[in-house]
Amino acid sequence: MPTPSLQAKRAYYAKARQSNYTASLRLAGFDTSAADGERKLPSRESVLSAYRSEV
């Protein structure tokens, strides 16, 4: 069996992260859809700037 490429490994783990994110939302009681797993997560910088602007 050939070893998977680095790009294939990254794609697999990105897909697993999105799936885990959707599952955690569902377990927390949020209504989720299939589109939630496909949506890009915000960057760290954009989240920090949003919280800093609220204060």
What CA–CA distance (Å, rounded) separates 2 from 11? 17
What predicted TM-score, i.e. pTM, was given to this entire model? Answer: 0.56
Q: Report the alpha-carbon distance of residue 16 to residue 4 in Å, rounded.
A: 16
Domain extents for the chain?
6-54
Tell me the C-alpha distance between 45 and 55, whole Å. 16
pLDDT tens digits along 1-55: 789 999 999 999 988 988 888 889 889 999 888 776 677 878 999 999 999 987 6
Which pLDDT does position 28 carry in this prediction?
95
Nearest Cα to Cα of residue 36 among 27, 46, 25, 28 = 25
Please give the pLDDT value at position 55. Answer: 64
CB neighbours (10 Å) of residue 22? Answer: 19
